[in-house]
A and B are shown apart, each in its own frame.
Chain A
Amino acid sequence: MELNRKLKEMIIEELQIEDITPDEIDDDMPLFGDGLGLDSLDAVELVVQLQVYFNVEIKNIEEGRPALQSINTLAQFVKAKQTQALNEAAS
């Protein structure tokens, strides 16, 4: 859950979301459209900030679309990428 919180704080800080706290963002809330209300420019900014904060890269839309659905899917994506990077470094 620590990762989920960090992701929420990153989103609030970097996307300048006002009047909402990390606790008010549900882990399964859709990030785009009717949920948190992010748009396409936010998506581009999120891709950049994921690299800055977590050193994780979204390479293409096939990776990005499922990852950017909610906080939970984003956290799963980050964990998977970080585990993959550790395994590659170890081998």
Chain B
Amino acid sequence: MSGLKELQEKFQRGILAGDDAVLTEINDSAKEERKTLFGVYRHAYVARLAEVLADDYDVLHAYVGDGTFAKLVKAYIAAHPSDRRSARDFGRHLPAFLSATAPFASHPELAEIASLEKALADAFDAADAEPLTVTKLAEIAPEDWPRLVFTPHPTALRLTFATNAADIWTALHNETAPPKAKALPEPQAILVWRQDVTARFRPIGPEEAMMWNEAVEGTRFGVLCEMVATFAGEDDAELRAATYLKDWTDTGMLAGCRVETTPDRGR
């Protein structure tokens, strides 16, 4: 007879590794053999986690179909026993798992679709913050604009895709036929954030991506304008920078701004 600790370890090994040692501790019931009864727990573990992954990665599921998704889920569950209290965290390693594990790694769009789904789920219940408003920006004195720095909304994050995973996601989300997976000529930047209670994403061009990366690092608006001018030409550079800023503000991607008062260090 095992003590409680040893019994729980055997029980857990019985579920995770198929080890039958725990069966010596269990009684047959009047109607059923112990192996079948313990099998309820074995089955429930895999079925519950498979359901969690199917809920969290429903677009990936739709893309690969039931058969491949079942294989992918089985491999992931075996590789990553759950180590968090909340089941919503269980699938957090799936994008990295798909990037690193054959045969999924040879289809790079799979990891990218998964990373987009994870990013949207993360944005959905990330911390709240009042978004920066155009009204607040309008109160900034013209002479202070060059020293203005921005705070991204806490839900905002950036991804970079090498494939057309974002287009595949959009088609499947709209329940239409997805385009054939393909590598993009240039990496595609994607911004993910939550507007009010809805998690959103949008692909952005290289210039906007550069400006976003600098802005979230605390680079002043005056310097951002110079960088935009360097990136794609001085003509209308300030207008381009202001347009990006207005888009970010209109869609709730920024949480605040302040006028930097320390000596100009660029950032």
A and B from one complex: no
Q: Which residues of B contact A (CB under 8 A)?
A: none
Q: A residues near B, CB below 8 A?
A: none
